Chain A
Amino acid sequence: MFTESVTSTRRLHNGLLLAALTILALLWMLPIFAVISTSLRGQGDLLSGGIFSWPKKIYWDNFVKAWAAGDFSIYFKNSLFVILTKVPLGIAIAALAAYPLAKLRFRLNGPIFLFFLIGLAVPVQVALQPLVVMMRQLQISNTLLALMPPYIAFGLPLQILVLRGFFRLVPNELLEAARVDGASEWRIFWQLMLPLSLPALAALAIIDALATWNEFLLALVLISSKDQRTVPLGLMQFQGEHSSQYTLLMAGVVISIIPVLIIFLFLQRYFVTGLTAGAVKG
């Protein structure tokens, strides 16, 4: 009897929650609907007929045109290359640094952590010019390689902060037990810390992949030649000095978010297979 009423109350609660979430989600999607509907129509229909009206005719070939105009396929490949190398590399470097900061005792632990935190405060704009000069000296200016070091450097402070936090949640007893068993710090890091922190790593990978995929300013000043440009620079090609090709721009946007959406959907599964799966289900 008692259990039954609890279950039905819960069912009611969940139903209300679901309804509230659905309304909020629809609201949240409104701008995204506008992106999609714009990507599907003709520029004349959009501008004369009203941006938030129903399209008169669906133009699938906007996607074809957007893909062809300004060599989108090149930008796409470049951006994929950047996130597929930068994100794992950056997070690996951050995780390596976060481990001793979280779990090892050494004299400079505090100062080094603080030193990394300072990076959170640095606005990227001030680094633009020195970075351009540095990349020229390193002879990698105007290549995708030039993007890697600053992307990694500017990602580190946040990633170290987050990972240090999550590593600290791993009980020290586990580590001690491993040490007693003769495991090296490297093995502890690799076989204990990383698997136990998968949700945090996944969250960071998502955040980092997105930030990298959409990064604009550094790519803008570090890369000038067409065959090295990334997607955000490619999208800019649809905005002219005096006019914009809105429908192609939005078609380009839709194309450009597909890979990150896939990454997001893929990495989501790690949220439920983490440390203690399904913690609050009961």
Chain B
Amino acid sequence: MAVLSETRTTVEVRARRKALSKGALTPYLFLAPALVIYIGFLVYPMLVSLYTSFFEWDGMSATMNFVGLTNYIAIFRDDEVARLAFLNNLFWTLGCLIIPTSIGLILALALNRGLRGTIVFRTIFYAPAVLPLVAVGLIWSWMYNPNFGVINLILKSIGLGRFAGAWLSGFDTAFPSAFATYVWASVGFPMILYLAGLQSISREYYEAARIDGANAWQSFLNVTMPGLRESHVVVLSLAVIGGFKVFDLIYTMTYGGPGRVTQVLGTWMYFQSFQYYHAGYGAALAWLIAVIILVIAVPYIRHMSRD
């Protein structure tokens, strides 16, 4: 017995040693640079902000007051703007899931057929993403301007003047208007990812489908869509993540107004931490955003990326 168990242990140790020497460390060597930078410059600052979220702090003073969970409780109990912002994020996210993604997919399919001028089209649809935000904000606020904006000018000139609107200045139209700009600016992203995905679908699958008598629609459903699975994971999860993290565009285009109707969690967090000098409360909002995203997006990503 004793001998036997001893032998087994030796064998195990030997096996482990062998595994170690023969590449058990390999994955970690590959991962090391990423882990070091990621932990140092993303995880650590995030933990600092988690710590901050338990304090009442103006973001500058040498002293911070520990308040426990008060900031988190206040978000849920008292903060009407946060509630509105959350709903706005939900709508924005739903919009992101449906509109830019499907336009991006359609464009990718259309531009993957070897048509003439494909490169020009790709460039044009991706071009808005090239523009710096300051240009996007400025040009679109001019286009939406109720008095001299090109949208109202065109509507009036083709006899549709009654549809000329206040756009960003209207309580009901501001949010959809900002979203329309977002669609314009962001379809290039799913388009590019889908294009890259389409490239990696083997032509043989299409041949096989054709031999089986599949029409274009069937081969789209049975070959293209499954083949784009990894692209879907990225595009859709980024739509959710982008939907809840949206900040730049709202901040630039509407500044949360008119009133507070276009506040989203990202801008509200920024207002709280940087403009109202409630750094602790802002940090709590940031963690709320992170948790929402983690709860919604991560299970999906994990589910979709299983073997």
Taking Cβ atoms with an 8 Å cutoff, the residues of A that contact B are: 14, 17-18, 21, 24-25, 28-32, 34-35, 38, 50-52, 93-94, 96-97, 99-101, 104, 106, 108-109, 112, 114, 116-123, 125-127, 129-131, 134, 149-150, 152-154, 156-158, 160-162, 164-166, 168-169, 185, 189, 199-200, 202-203, 206-207, 210, 214, 216, 231-232, 235-236, 239, 246, 249-250, 253, 256-257, 260-261, 264-265, 268, 271-272, 274-282
Other-chain contact of B230, A50, A93, A165 (Cβ < 8 Å): A165
Chain A residues, CB < 8 A from B291? 121
Tell yes or no: B2 within 8 A of A by CB: no
The minimal Cβ–Cβ distance linking B162 to chain A, given in whole angstroms, is 21
Given the contacts A264-B123, A272-B199, A279-B203, A185 and B132 also touching, CB distance less than 8 Å? no
- Judge if B10 is at the interface, Cβ distance under 8 Å: no
Whether the pair A100, B30 counts as a contact (CB closer than 8 A) is yes
Residue of chain A at shortest CB distance from B291: A121
Give which listed residue, A34, A121, A134, A206, contacts B139 with CB less than 8 A. Answer: A34
Of the candidates B45, B48, B148, the one having the most CB atoms from chain A within 10 angstroms of its own CB is B45
How far apart sit A14 and B113, CA to CA, in the bound complex (Å)?
9
Contact present for A126 and B40 (CB under 8 Å): no
Judge whether A153 and B113 touch: CB under 8 Å.
Answer: no
Q: Contacts of B138 on A, CB cut-off 8 Å?
A: 246, 249-250
B139 CB contacts on chain A under 8 angstroms: 31, 34-35, 38
Checking A112, A114, A123, A232 against B269 with a beta-carbon cut-off of 8 angstroms, the contacting residue is A123
For the A-B complex, the count of residue pairs with Cβ-Cβ distances under 8 Å equals 295
Partner of A271, one of B196, B266, B302: B196
Question: With A14-B115, A50-B148, A276-B200 in contact, is A185–B23 under 8 Å at CB?
Answer: yes
Contact present for B132 and A121 (CB under 8 Å):
no
Question: Is A276 touching B201 in the complex (CB atoms < 8 A)?
Answer: yes
Q: Which residues of A contact B189 (CB under 8 A)?
A: 207
Pair A280/B115 contact, Cβ less than 8 Å: no
Taking CB atoms, residues of chain B closer than 8 Å to A150 are 41-42
* A265 and B23 contact, CB distance less than 8 A: no
In the assembled complex, the Cα of A160 lies from the Cα of B163 at a distance in Å of 46
Q: A99-B30, A274-B199, A279-B199 are in contact. Are A114 and B298 (CB under 8 A)?
A: yes
B200–A275 touching, CB < 8 Å? yes
With known contacts A93-B33, A127-B46, A232-B134, A18–B200 Cβ distance under 8 A: no
8 nearest A-B pairs in the assembled complex, by CB-CB distance: A165-B230, A100-B27, A97-B34, A127-B45, A153-B41, A121-B293, A130-B45, A126-B49
- Interface residues on chain B, size class: 35 or more
Once the chains bind, are A280 and B294 in contact (CB under 8 Å)? no
Q: By the criterion CB–CB under 8 Å, are A185 and B130 in contact? A: no
How far, in angstroms, from A199 to B231 measured CA to CA in the complex?
A: 12
> Residues of B with Cβ closer than 8 Å to A?
23-24, 26-28, 30-31, 33-35, 37-38, 40-46, 48-49, 59, 110-117, 119-136, 138-140, 142-143, 148-150, 153, 184, 189, 192-193, 195-196, 198-203, 206-207, 224, 230-231, 233-234, 237-238, 241, 245, 247-248, 266, 269-270, 273-274, 279, 282-283, 286, 289-291, 293-294, 297-298, 301-302, 305
CA distance A206 to B132 in the complex (A): 15
Given the interface contacts A17-B115, A165-B305, does A149 sit within 8 Å of B41 by beta carbon? Answer: yes
Residue of A nearest to B124 (CB): A25
Q: Which of A114, A121, A265, A281 has the most CB of B within 10 A?
A: A121
A-chain residues with CB within 8 Å of residue B42 when the two chains form the complex:
119, 122, 127, 150, 153-154, 156
Chain A residues with CB under 8 A of B26: 100, 104, 185
Residues of B within 8 A of A51 (CB): 142, 148, 150
Bound Cα distance A236, B252 (Å):
13
Chain B interface, DSSP helix/strand/loop, else mixed: helix
A160 touching B298 in the complex, CB below 8 Å, given contacts A109-B27, A279-B201: no
Q: Bound state CA distance, A282 and B101, in angstroms?
A: 25
Report the minimum CB–CB distance from B235 to chain A (whole Å): 10
**Contact of B199 with A199 in the complex, beta carbons under 8 Å:** yes
Min CB gap B76→A, angstroms: 19
Point out the residues of chain A lying under 8 angstroms from B130, CB to CB: 210, 257, 260-261, 264
Contact A131 B193, CB 8 Å, known A123-B247, A156-B34, A168-B230? no
Q: Assuming A31-B143, A153-B42, is B135 touching A125 (CB within 8 A)? A: no
Note all chain A residues with C-beta closer than 8 A to B143.
30-31, 34
Q: Is the CB of A203 within 8 A of B31?
A: no
Per the bound structure, the CA–CA distance linking A264 and B122 in Å amounts to 10
Q: How close is A141's CB to chain B, nearest CB, in angstroms?
A: 14
Give 13 pairs: A residue, B residue, CB < 8 Å, sorted on A: A17-B110, A25-B121, A31-B128, A34-B150, A52-B150, A100-B27, A117-B302, A119-B42, A122-B290, A134-B44, A149-B37, A166-B230, A278-B114
Beyond A127-B49, A206-B192, is A282–B203 a contact (Cβ under 8 Å)?
yes
Q: Which residue of A lies closest to B289 (CB)?
A: A123
Measured in the bound complex, the distance between the Cα atoms of B247 and A203 in whole Å is 24
Which residue of the partner chain B has the closest CB to A38?
Answer: B139
Distance between A232 CB and nearest chain B CB, rounded to angstroms: 6
Residue numbers in A under 8 Å from B203 (CB-CB): 276, 278-282
Complex CA gap A117/B305 in Å reads 12
> Do A119 and B38 touch (CB < 8 A)?
yes
Contact: B33 with A97, CB < 8 Å?
yes
Q: Are B150 and A279 in contact (CB under 8 A)?
A: no
